[in-house]
Amino acid sequence: MYLGIDTGGTFTDFILFDEATRGIRIHKVLSTPDAPERAIMQGIRDLGVDTHGLTLVHGSTVATNAVLEGKGVRTAYITNTGLADVLTIGRQARKELYNLQPKKTPPLIPAELCLEVNARLDAHGHALRLAGDDELTRMCRQIEALAPRAVAINLLFSFLDDSEEKRIEAALPGGVFISRSSDVLPEYKEYERGITTTLNAYIGPLMQGYLQKLEQQAEGCRLAVMQSSGGTASAHNAGRYPVQLLLSGPAGGLRGAQFIAAKAGFERLLTFDMGGTSTDVSIIDRDIGFTTEAHIGDYPVAVPMVDMHTIGAGGGSIARVDAGGLLLVGPESAGADPGPACYGNGGVDAAVTDANVVLGRLLPRSFLGGHMTLDSSKSEQAVGRVADALGMNIFEAASGIIAVVNDHMVRALRVMSVQRGEDPRDYTLVSFGGAGGLHVCALADALGMQRALVPVNAGVLSALGMLAAEPSRERSRTLRRLLADCDRTELEHALRELEQQARDELREIAGDGNMNASYSVDLRYRGQSYTLNLDWNSSAMLEQEFHRLHESRYGHYMEIPVELVNLRVRVLGQKPPFELPVWVPESTKAGIGEARVYGFVQPVPVYARNSLAVGQIVDAPALVTEPTATTWIDSGWRARVDAWGNLLLQKL
């Protein structure tokens, strides 16, 4: 059996796939942020699964939360003499350009934990000075006195020659987690490389301890972890390179959206994953996009990640009225505890979920398949306080909350489409997450889109994506030179070396099965700071392809020599056996009643999604309920059920 688990800020989602019967089961429990494994084990018990022989694929928020909340371990930073302030100075970019008194944020690593070693390579990798044995002994004594749990090593130009970093690693006392920049990210840009390496060390012991604890409690399971790049890694590699897990859950969502949309015949997608705490939006043009310029909080993380934009807008986003009488929604969230007011756990602030309850779009007795009943009276009280502050009735206030959060999500979707020169009307909007289906029609209308897709099991799609993802490993290396001066044989040899390294690391989870490697390169015009990534080919056409891509992306190309910056390799293992079962309704009675929805004189029909037949048409207005989500089919839309149980929405 295969169990996909996505730990979110509000809920932990489960999807169980039985390879023998090709059947799936889904489940949700409230997350336990203080100890995520507690919710996981609760869900496993609820499902009645024996962990012995179980393959468990997990998307974890442990690494992400530790970075965002500043709760990593005590970490020391070792670099060259004169460069101890690099992580603090950064790029000298200010968040607020015209604020003359910006609020100071504490550095990732305090000055007393930043150590220098007198060693230096030049820009060609030649040794100008090597650290002496006495110097290494002195450094080790400093480390022993400081007693960190982790150490990050980041020497200038170590991506050209890693021998000095390895000497330092070998000299350090045992019992500490060590992260080398020449291993974690052997690329140029010492600030980005230093931050990425330091974050890897900062959260390494936490992630290792968490995964070990989970393996012990889920005794006998085979544990794999979703990476930010959309592939899975072994628990050992995940603990060694936790910086590659910072978008673990969202990456699972994109893999799930791509997998399900392909079944429905769609390849060009705008996706939004609306959970309880945040919304992740992305664009898929046949393949998932990747970036090496992502940020987690204030920190640049230069390892490959799925390309997405995240905002603080979710079902738990709190609505409030500021001193000027303006309605604001988010980014603060009610989370899982206490949660929105309707959860009845002590929450008093009005959340987006409460607004949907007040408007009649979220049915209290159908929430989580009836396993959790919402308290509509508490939603009315919470939204009522917002209404009083705005001087309007409760329904107008709830509609305003929905309008504001929808506007946040529309702007995020425009960032990933319009601002990149893509017309949203050429794409299909795919909504998932527990709250996504309630907003999909409004967002599509705002973007002028004609098609939308609410996948089967949309409320647990990130967990489903983890079951559909193959093992993967990415490796990169900076090799800067003019493209015209490159020796193609030398480049292909370097790419094969990276491939072999990735294959060796992937073998731990993928075994000796078939692996497929793909090569790509980062190119730029000489003098530029940023690069474009292209698939590698050894022909002379690579430079022309770069010109065409640059013109497509930025509207022009230049008669300037093209420079090669980085080599990249991605190795994929075999696809897992997960397959989506053909849709079979559980009964022939799809309609389960009616609901009063604000804005409609007549009651709105309510359908149970698991009872809708293949090919069935659902006209608006209508509510479609399922154990993990609710879909609101707004006026002007029509839904059709496809062969896999997806809701295909079409604008009339």
Domain spanning 471-572, CATH class:
alpha beta
DSSP string, 30-60: E--TT-HHHHHHHHHHHHT---TT-EEEEE-
Domain 75-202 has CATH 1.10.3430: no
CB 188 within 8 A of CB 198: no
The 8-class DSSP code of residue 555 comes to S
- CA separation, residue 373 to residues 161, 345, 363, 607 (Å): 61, 12, 9, 18
What's the pLDDT at 66?
A: 87
Q: In the numeric block, which tokens belong to residue 321?
A: 């009225």
Torsion sign, CA atoms 492, 493, 494, 495: positive
β-partners of residue 154 are: none
Instruction: Name the nearest CA neighbour of 466 among 73, 9, 106, 12.
Output: 12
CB 356 within 8 A of CB 374: no
For the chain, the residue count is 652
Mean pLDDT of the residues in the chain: 91
Mean pLDDT of 505-516: 87
Torsion sign, CA atoms 349, 353, 359, 362: negative
What's the pLDDT at 645?
A: 92
* pLDDT of 368 strictly over 90: no
pLDDT-derived band at 514, boundaries 50, 70, 90 = confident
pLDDT-derived band at 588, boundaries 50, 70, 90 = low
Instruction: Name the nearest CA neighbour of 57 among 19, 17, 23.
Output: 17
* pLDDT of 367 strictly over 70: yes
Phi-psi region of 494 (alpha: psi -120 to 50; beta: other; left: phi over 0): alpha
In this structure, the number of other CB atoms found within 10 A of the CB of residue 295 comes to 12
CB-count exposure of residue 556 (10 Å: 0-12, 13-18, 19+): exposed
Q: What distance in Å separates the CA atoms of residue 620 and residue 650, rounded to the nearest whole number?
A: 11
CB-count exposure of residue 593 (10 Å: 0-12, 13-18, 19+): middle
Instruction: Name the nearest CA neighbour of 26 among 587, 632, 459.
Output: 459
Q: What distance in Å separates the CA atoms of residue 325 and residue 490, rounded to the nearest whole number?
A: 65
What's the pLDDT at 539?
A: 67
CB 263 within 8 A of CB 580: yes
E-strand ranges in 596-634 read: 604-608, 617-619, 622-626, 629-633
pLDDT-derived band at 589, boundaries 50, 70, 90 = low
Q: In the numeric block, which tokens belong to residue 234?
A: 């072994």
Name the 3-class secondary structure at 516: strand
CB 84 within 8 A of CB 216: no
pLDDT digits (tens, 9 = 90+) for 375-400: 999 999 999 999 999 999 999 999 99
Mean pLDDT of 349-354: 93
Name the 3-class secondary structure at 134: helix
**Could you give the angle at which helices 36-47 and 190-217 cross, rounded to 10 degrees?**
40
Parallel, antiparallel or unpaired: strands 55-59 and 2-7 = parallel
Percent with pLDDT over 70 in the chain: 98
Query: Cα 526 from chain centroid?
Result: 33
* Domains of the chain by residue range: 2-68+208-247, 75-202, 471-572
The 8-class DSSP code of residue 202 comes to H
Q: What distance in Å separates the CA atoms of residue 284 and residue 286, rounded to the nearest whole number?
A: 6
pLDDT-derived band at 591, boundaries 50, 70, 90 = low
Instruction: Name the nearest CA neighbour of 430 among 397, 396, 464.
Output: 464
Cα three-residue angle 150-154-159, rounded to 5 degrees: 130
CB 113 within 8 A of CB 88: no
Q: In the numeric block, which tokens belong to residue 67?
A: 């970075």
pLDDT-derived band at 88, boundaries 50, 70, 90 = very high
pLDDT digits (tens, 9 = 90+) for 424-480: 999 999 999 888 999 999 999 999 999 999 998 888 899 999 999 999 999 999 999
pLDDT digits (tens, 9 = 90+) for 2-42: 999 999 877 899 999 998 888 899 898 888 888 899 999 99
CB 626 within 8 A of CB 642: no
pLDDT digits (tens, 9 = 90+) for 402-432: 999 999 999 999 999 998 889 999 999 999 9
In this structure, the number of other CB atoms found within 10 A of the CB of residue 130 comes to 14
CATH of domain 2-68+208-247: 3.30.420.40
* pLDDT of 54 strictly over 80: yes
Phi and psi at 549, nearest 5°, equal -65, -40
Mean pLDDT of 280-291: 91
CB 268 within 8 A of CB 259: no
Instruction: Name the nearest CA neighbour of 357 among 398, 324, 407.
Output: 398
